[in-house]
Structure 1
Amino acid sequence: MIKAESEAKILANGWGICHWMEELPDPNWRSIDEIKDRLCVMNALLYVAFGAPIPKIGKWLKTQGKLEALTPNEILLLKRSQRTSLSVFDRNYLKQYLESVWALLWVLECIDELSVQEACANNMNDFLPKILEDEDNNKIDQLTHTRLPGEFYELLDYYYRVHWYCVDQTKLGKKTGFPDENRMAQRRKALHWVYDKELNWDKMRIAL
């Protein structure tokens, strides 16, 4: 039924359906603490992406007890940046966390909607600690609820199907008429990571 509802919404927007797609497997949910730790780390690394001093961000993560929440790839990136300046590739990689952070804010009920057609809002920082102003992680630590399973499943299924439609359109050389593919990919990565605790953040393929 959810699959049919997702496809109906997709067609109502004038997009298309990938008929080969199956239903999502059963969920294997992550704990809220894991979700909050990932949100905290990605928020901190966004500061790095936009030029904040890496030692300051590292010290903040250590003070908040979040160093263990960094993935192996994130640790390597930070260590490499201590020897040489952060590369353009690394900065762009971290900047993609914007959309994943926005998706996790939806998961944690900080925002009401996660529209496939709208980029993350300008007020995103209102929900997150302002690290350069020496705020602690209380804004994230105090969060206590996640979306209900049914609501989460409906949105993930919709993103799953819209994303693959976007991938197909890009392969056909089309550039307009559908949501931004990278936005869909980064949000869907975060949503799918929450949905299946066996997934490894560093090793997740974008087109899951």
Structure 2
Amino acid sequence: MSYDDHNHSFLFVPPSTQDRIQGVLSAAVMLVMYGDYQCSESAKVYRLIKAIGRELNSSLEENNLCFVFRHFPQVQIHPHAQHAAQAVEAAAAQGQFWQMHDILFAHQQELGNGYLVEYANYLGLDISHFLQNMSKKAHVARINEDIQSGLHSGVTATPALFINGIRYTGRWNNTQLTAAIVTASH
């Protein structure tokens, strides 16, 4: 295996407290997803992971599964993806990352700036602070760090998923993804 192959099947930057995390970093199974809020496949895979997580939480021990989301906006094909990523980070600055994250994936056809402000309003965010973060591009560096870590791991498109640091190459369906997660937990 050449260095190049190695690069494309393993996670280059391990999950840390700098990431957007659901669960605990000491979990037996660590899922790292690179996604784009305007990518319908990213939304589908995120919903799939959430459903599998709910199923497995009842069968596996508590804290056995950790989910990490990293930004990988594909701006060349998704004109709203970068702004959506900035909006979710602006929401994160007010403690509402996952709430905004879920809204954006649920409303992928409506990611223009006006909608982003509506969602921020719906979540009860401080709108002037939110808009200030957006206009100053306060979170672009963080988003770029995610993109760079993805590129180092061989990510070229979304969704990209790593299970315990290894690139998942199976089908995006409940059966195969659940099997891969359960296997990783042993």
TM-score, with normalisation over the residues of structure 1? 0.27
Query: Which of the pair is proportionally richer in strand?
Result: 2
Q: Compare relative contact order (CA 8 Å, sep 6+) and give the higher one, 1 or 2.
A: 2
Structure showing greater Rg: 1
Q: TM-score, normalised by structure 2?
A: 0.29
